[in-house]
Amino acid sequence: MDPRLSIIDERLKGIKRIIAISSGKGGVGKSLIASTLALLLVRKGFRVGLLDLDFTSPSTHVILGVMNIYPKEDKGIIPADVYGIRYMSIVAYSRDETLPLRGADLSNALIELFAVTRWGDIDFLVIDMPPGISDATLDVLRLVKKIEFLIVTTSSVLAFETVKKLAKLLVELKIPILGVIENMRLGEESAISRLTANLGLRFLGTIPFEVDIENALGNIDALLRTGFAKRLDEIISGCGLFKILKS
């Protein structure tokens, strides 16, 4: 038996809610939403962790502008503090190198990371997922009991088609889905809110395509000033889903 598995629950015990930012298709804005969401939640006074689970193409460190992450070692790994976020990414260990992982190795690395990281007591752990129904998705479903999903799509039916597949899997497994965010909307018309409702899921809102968002990457102050961040803030405040019941 793999002893690492028995310690994961213990490691996640102090976390109130764990939210995976996920999508069927790649490139829809998961990493940008995950990073900005973590920053917004910190600004609202929550204790927040951010875990980048896209091991082969990690990006949240670029969005947040943190080039060198040094998690502390104390009976495990204590995540680095990044603008008030407890932050963990494989880049802390792979540095600038390419990390070509196949499925089984990827799973192993993921289990290892969950088994050693000591998040402590936090309100939200936001997880930036790799696209699609990947090994990481299946592992998170297997290992993280209190996982909830936030699904991101673009306005394209191609992206939404993959959302259906992901949602079906999650619904079958009785995993909570907070809802769907439509990102990078270009025109006025879009079928996504209707299609989302047809799936029986909650449509949380739309974020328009923002031409100059590129300039804000790597600078959190600039990022929080974008229309993107403002809109995401409205969505998370408006939906009432990002609350912690005080005990």
Partner 1 sequence: MHEWALAEAVISSATQIAEKEGLKAVKEVKIRIGELQQVELDIFEFALSQLKTGILQEARFVIETVRARFRCRVCSYEWFFERNRLTGDSAEAIHFIPEAIYAFIKCPRCNSPDFEVQEGRGIWLESIIGVR
Ligand X SMILES: Nc1ncnc2c1ncn2[C@@H]1O[C@H](COP(=O)(O)OP(=O)(O)OP(=O)(O)O)[C@@H](O)[C@H]1O
* Residue list 197-236, contact with Mg ion (CB under 5 A): none
Contact status, residue 49 vs residue 87, Cβ threshold 8 Å: yes
Binding residues for partner 1, total number by CB under 8 A: 32
Residue 24 is classified by DSSP as S
Does residue 113 touch ligand X according to CB under 6 A? Answer: no
- Helix or strand or coil: residue 22? strand
* Residue list 55-84, contact with partner 1 (CB under 8 A): 73, 75-77
**CB of 25 or CB of 30, closer to Mg ion:** 30
Residue 18 structure tokens: 């764990």
Which of 241, 49, 13 lies closest to 149, judged by CA?
241
From the list ligand X, Mg ion, partner 1, none, partner contacted by residue 1 (C-beta under 5 to 8 A by kind): partner 1
Torsion of the alpha carbons at 20, 23, 28 and 31, rounded to the nearest 10: 20
Report d(CA 80, CA 51) in Å as an integer.
Answer: 11
**CB of 91 or CB of 115, closer to ligand X:** 91
Q: Quick one: which segment of 103-111, 130-138, 194-202, 235-243 binds partner 1 (CB under 8 A)?
A: 103-111
Site string for ligand X, 30-69 (x = CB under 6 A): xxx---------------------x--x-x----------
Whole-number minimum distance, CB 99 to ligand X, in Å? Answer: 15
Which of 176, 236, 235, 171 lies closest to 199, judged by CA?
171
Report the amino acid identity of residue 34: A
Report the amino acid identity of residue 2: D
Question: 72: left (phi > 0), else alpha (psi -120 to 50), else beta?
Answer: beta
Residue the block writes with tokens 């962790």: 49
Whole-number minimum distance, CB 54 to Mg ion, in Å? Answer: 5
**Residue numbers of the site for partner 1 (CB under 8 A)?**
1-7, 10, 73, 75-77, 90, 92-95, 97-102, 105-106, 108-109, 112-113, 115-116, 118
**Positions in the binding site for ligand X (CB under 6 A):** 23, 26-32, 54, 57, 59, 131, 183-184, 207, 209-210, 213, 217, 228
